[in-house]
């Protein structure tokens, strides 16, 4: 059975690169009738916070990414919080030490930094020089007796090729001599990412790992670990990074792109889902798709090796598609309770039909609530100039037409067109500005239906007063 996983560290909000890895993993599991596992990698107690673990779970559920094993969904390989798996890791630490495949390291951060500096100055790749590898048992015991607490390093074999076929990038080869012995247990006793991530993948029977290409250099280390312990290794696929317009990896300097921020801004989950699914993956269908449809059309061979550029315009395109796919009840759930009560219930359907094609977020809709159901409009200099250009006769004719034809805008505009010999923007724009204070927006017929005759008259009266003040 195909088993994929997502293993975030709860040290902050999920950024789009992480979410895309989770999405692709979940899509592949769904397509393969497999299982998607969520594992919380919280061994770094100084940086991990439970609130972030809660937020990331809520955000994944909002995105319709559901796990079949993990927090709150117990499975055969629990616990799914790494902070609860120390005994599991201790067993494998002992095995590696007993077999002479790992050793204690007392080097300080300052000593390691100096070694790296020296190696770089000589044009050498920075790697651990093996300072503590030759310590005798007596020397180790003496240092521990002095109160020194060692980290634990995995002894990397020399001059070994580590070959594997990456699911995205194809055949890969690394030489062990370029890697150096690496830490698998920190000095304070917690497991390093390199170690517990690999161990848990094996014990949880993960078959496929999709993660960012920034983890590519970790893969040969983890393969060596698993081989040394006789544990099964998953297939690895490393996804291209998401970049900003400048070609640099997407980061905070490009704006706020956490999933939580998108949710709070008012993006719809279907919009984010469809956008992310197409970042580095090709779909033949360009219409809005459900999670199941995206999964059915997901293929590992369609994952791109090239970096994926974040395009806000494309995200907004999918936001518009998602908005237009909402039914009335979903629209008002998205708008929120405050807006639901601000718009007369009898006008809910008309308001949604008029506003949705013209907005991207609930905040945009709130602006139109104020425009249509508030008592006054705020016009800028250019809008006032357009009203004045239309002139007093225009608005007097409008008032007369309303008295005669009520709120039948089609007949009113047709009458003004012939009576004043005007058309196009000269006819429509002064009416739109007088009614909404905006030069763009919903169809005028829909606006009139929302305003009603009495409010139309009041707003045309206000426009006439502005013109007469000139």
C-alpha to C-alpha distance for 82 and 62, rounded to whole angstroms? 24
Residues in the chain: 470
Rounded-to-integer distance, Cα 100 and Cα 103, Å:
7
Instruction: Tell whether omega for the bond before 79 is within 30 degrees of 0, i.e. cis.
Output: yes
In this predicted structure, what is the pLDDT of residue 66? Answer: 97
- Cα→Cα distances 28→23, 165, 304, Å: 9, 18, 15
- Report the C-alpha gap between 440 and 35 in whole angstroms: 49
Per-residue pLDDT of the chain (470 residues; tens, 9 = 90+): 999 999 999 999 999 999 999 999 999 999 999 999 999 999 988 899 999 999 999 999 999 999 999 999 989 999 999 999 999 999 999 999 999 999 999 999 898 888 889 888 888 888 899 999 999 999 999 999 999 999 999 999 999 999 999 999 999 999 999 999 999 999 999 999 999 999 999 999 999 999 999 999 999 999 999 999 999 999 999 999 998 877 777 765 555 579 999 999 999 999 999 999 999 999 999 999 999 999 999 999 999 999 999 999 999 999 999 999 999 999 999 999 999 999 999 999 999 999 999 999 999 999 999 999 998 899 999 999 999 999 999 999 999 999 998 889 899 999 999 999 999 999 999 999 999 999 999 999 999 999 999 999 999 999 999 999 86
C-beta neighbour count of 72 within 10 angstroms:
8
Dist. CA 367–CA 19, nearest whole Å:
31
Provide the pLDDT for residue 125. Answer: 82
The predicted structure's pLDDT at residue 78:
96
- Residue 255's pLDDT is 58
238: helix, coil or strand? strand
Radius of gyration, alpha carbons of the chain: 32
Instruction: List the structure tokens of 27.
Output: 């899509």
Structure tokens belonging to residue 290: 């459900």
Task: Tell me if 402 sits within 8 A of 457, measured CB to CB.
Answer: yes
Q: What is the DSSP letter of 231?
A: P
191, 185 contact by CB (below 8 A): yes
Q: Report yes or no: 460 and 395 within 8 Å, Cβ to Cβ.
A: yes
**Range 291-296 contact pairs with CB under 8 angstroms and sequence separation of 24 or more:** 291/27, 291/30, 291/64, 291/65, 292/30, 294/27, 295/26, 295/27, 295/28, 295/30, 295/31, 296/31
Q: Terminal CA-to-CA distance of the chain, rounded, Å? A: 78
CB of 364 within 8 A of CB of 267?
no
Residue 429 sits at φ, ψ, to 5 deg, of -65, -45
* Separation of alpha carbons 467 and 464, rounded Å: 5
What is the value of pTM for the model shown? 0.91
Residue 159: is it exposed, middle or buried by C-beta count within 10 angstroms (0-12/13-18/19+)?
Answer: exposed
| pLDDT at res. 52 | 96
Contact between 128 and 153 under an 8 Å Cβ cutoff? The reply is yes
């Amino acid at each position: 059975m195909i088993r994929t996983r997502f293993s975030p560290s709860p040290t902050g909000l999920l950024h789009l690169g992480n979410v895309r890895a989770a999405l692709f993993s979940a899509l592949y599991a769904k397509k393969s009738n497999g299982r998607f596992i969520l594992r919380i990698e919280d061994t770094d107690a100084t940086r991990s916070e439970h609130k972030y673990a809660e937020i990331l779970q809520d955000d994944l559920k909002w995105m319709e990414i559901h796990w079949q094993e993990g927090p709150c969904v117990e499975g055969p390989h629990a616990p799914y919080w790494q902070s609860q798996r120390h005994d599991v890791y201790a067993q494998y630490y002992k095995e590696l030490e007993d077999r002479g495949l790992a050793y204690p390291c007392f080097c300080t951060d300052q000593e390691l930094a100096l070694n790296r500096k020296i190696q770089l100055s000589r044009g050498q790749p920075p790697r651990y020089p093996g300072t503590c590898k030759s310590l005798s048992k007596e020397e180790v015991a003496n240092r521990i007796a002095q109160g020194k607490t060692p980290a634990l390093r995995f002894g990397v074999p020399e001059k070994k090729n580590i070959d594997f076929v990456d699911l995205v990038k194809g055949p890969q080869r690394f030489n062990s001599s370029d890697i150096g012995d690496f830490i698998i247990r920190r000095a304070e006793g917690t497991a390093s990412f390199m170690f517990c991530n690999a161990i848990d993948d094996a014990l949880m029977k993960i078959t496929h790992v999709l993660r960012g290409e920034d983890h590519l250099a970790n893969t040969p280390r983890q393969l060596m670990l698993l081989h040394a312990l006789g544990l099964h290794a998953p297939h690895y696929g490393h996804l291209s990074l998401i970049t900003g317009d400048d070609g640099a990896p997407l980061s905070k300097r490009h704006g706020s792109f956490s999933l939580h921020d998108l949710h709070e801004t008012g993006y719809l989950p279907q919009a984010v889902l469809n956008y992310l699914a197409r970042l580095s993956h090709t779909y033949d269908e360009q219409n809005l798709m459900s999670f199941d449809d995206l999964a059915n059309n997901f293929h590992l061979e369609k994952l791109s090796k090239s970096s994926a550029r974040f395009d806000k315009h494309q995200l907004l395109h999918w936001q518009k598609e998602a908005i237009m796919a909402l039914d009335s009840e979903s629209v008002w759930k998205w708008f929120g309770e405050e807006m639901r009560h601000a718009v007369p219930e009898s006008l809910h359907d008309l308001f949604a039909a008029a506003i949705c094609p013209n907005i991207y977020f609930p905040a945009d809709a709130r602006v139109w609530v104020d425009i249509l159901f508030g008592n006054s409009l705020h016009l800028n200099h250019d809008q006032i100039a357009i009203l004045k250009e239309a002139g007093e006769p225009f608005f007097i004719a409008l008032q007369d037409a309303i008295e005669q034809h009520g709120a039948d805008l089609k007949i009113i505009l047709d009458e003004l067109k012939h009576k004043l010999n005007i058309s196009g923007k000269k006819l429509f724009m002064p009416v739109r500005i007088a009614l909404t204070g905006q030069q763009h927006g919903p169809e005028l017929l829909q606006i009139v239906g929302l305003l009603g005759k009495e409010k139309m008259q009041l707003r045309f009266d206000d426009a006439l007063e502005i013109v007469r003040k000139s």
